[in-house]
Chain A
Amino acid sequence: MKWIDYEAPKSLGDALTLLSQHGDRARPIAGGTDILVQLRAGARSPDLLVDVKGIPELNEISYSPSSGLTLGSAVECYKVYGNSDISNAYPGLIDSASIIGGTQIQGRASIGGNLCNAAPSGDSIPALIALGATAQIASSGGTREVPVEEFCTAPGRTVVQPGELVVSIHLPAPVPNSGARYIRFIPRNEMDIAVVGAGVSVVLDNGNIKSARVALASVAPTPLFVKEAGDALAGKPATDESIRVASQLASDAATPITDMRGTIEFRKHLCEVLTRRALHTAIERAKESG
């Protein structure tokens, strides 16, 4: 690995100044579980790593039933699933936070880092999209908010510009009678990359589905928001037939490739199966949430 400089600013202002001064030659590091591997492989070659773990705003966890969750972008996965407020309000997010890597990786890796790494297979991203999450992005010029479904632009690429930093992720407060679920298919039981992942959320209204959101991992150059699958469920009874139709729409929207983890045909099949199963669980959770 070539020489690289390292700074660990203690304030957001200092971090934004550094990122602004160094532009595209600087790269933030949170848990480092992706960036250090990429540096060694030569896949990224910044001159400066800006360690953002010491910045208070990036370590924030604040939840209220009225305003939802603000999750600092450097908060490690183990703190996400170890937080009872988050576990109770967003089990669909816990589904992903608890399966990213293994115990050691979850001690370092963050949801914000998983999002910024922008892998098509990033497990947290479909879960965030299903939950209607937004990314709060700051620069020395101000802040902006981007819906997660618009955040990733290509494999490893995002809307974040040189000089900008993702400070936190915001999840809206869960509405009554809502539920979410993320599941993935991997050939092992753990420690693997999704062949396909499906994140869904539903809101129920007297046995009918009021609204739903569906997103998929590993079936397109970016995590894929399948708006039409959720829209097809809106106003429909929460029955196997409604779910089957929406799951087929999810599969139709997927444009996967054939690689060592699976073929196009297998992945299209998985999209239908995983979306269907995730919707069933999300509906069960919505009923339990009262």
Chain B
Amino acid sequence: MPAKTYVQTTINGEAVDFLCEPRQSLLECLRDVIGLTGSKEGCNDGNCGACTVVLDGRIVTSCLVLGVEVEGRDITTIEGIAVGSTLHPVQQAYLENAALQCGICTPGFIVASKALLDQNPNPTEHEIRFWLANNLCRCTGYDKIVRAVMDAANKMQEAAV
């Protein structure tokens, strides 16, 4: 068996290094090598968005990134969204709007929703639905998710005033 690759990267603001095989996805590395199991595997082909992470400021499906590709990059996972025990307003809004049922899709939705509000603090319903089109939820029917994002947007704007 050829040698594994040594990768140095930044995850949720902390320097992290790990060994991986070139064929392993970033999602496998996060879950099975590093032990960050918040990102979920749904489809493993980029359709469902449950494994969404932020890579150098853009959301990507971590199942379609190789672990070896993140050398020197900056990654934010669902574990990096809350500050200590204080939930991010997006997380709070998902809870208050009952925007989750089984919860498997939720980490990906929250990472993607926060990324939307970071670049567009006051999105329309249309913009939210298109931004989140790469995240699938088989429980909620999406309405409560969209309402949660709009609620979070309102509260974050009120807080910013």
Residues of A within 8 A of B (CB): 1-6, 8, 29, 31-33, 36-37, 39-40, 49, 51, 53, 76, 78, 101-105, 107-108, 189-191
Contacts and interface: CB of A to CB of B under 8 A. Distances in A.
Interface residues of B, number: 32
Nearest to A76: B58
B49 A3 contact: no
B103 interface: no
B61 interface: yes
Contacts of A36: 25, 63-64, 66
Given A5-B2, A32-B64, A39-B23, 16 more contacts: A6-B22, A6-B66, A37-B46, A40-B44, A40-B45, A51-B69, A76-B58, A102-B134, A102-B135, A103-B131, A104-B49, A104-B52, A104-B60, A104-B134, A108-B58, A189-B130
Contacts, number: 85
5 tightest CB-CB pairs across the interface, nearest first?
A102-B134, A6-B22, A107-B58, A190-B133, A102-B133
Nearest to B130: A190
A103 B134 contact: yes
A4 B66 CA distance: 11
B25 A107 contact: no
Interface of B: 1-2, 5, 21-23, 25, 44-47, 49, 52, 55, 58-61, 63-66, 68-69, 112, 129-135
In terms of DSSP, what is the predominant structure of the interface of chain B? mixed
A102 B23 contact: no
Given A36-B25, A37-B64, A6 B5 contact: yes
Contacts of A102: 49, 132-135
Contacts of B133: 102-103, 189-191
A4 B22 contact: yes
| Best-surrounded residue of A1, A3, A39, A104 (most CB of chain B within 10 A) | A104
Contacts of A189: 129-130, 133
Given A5-B2, A5-B22, A190-B130, A32 B65 contact: yes
Nearest to A48: B22
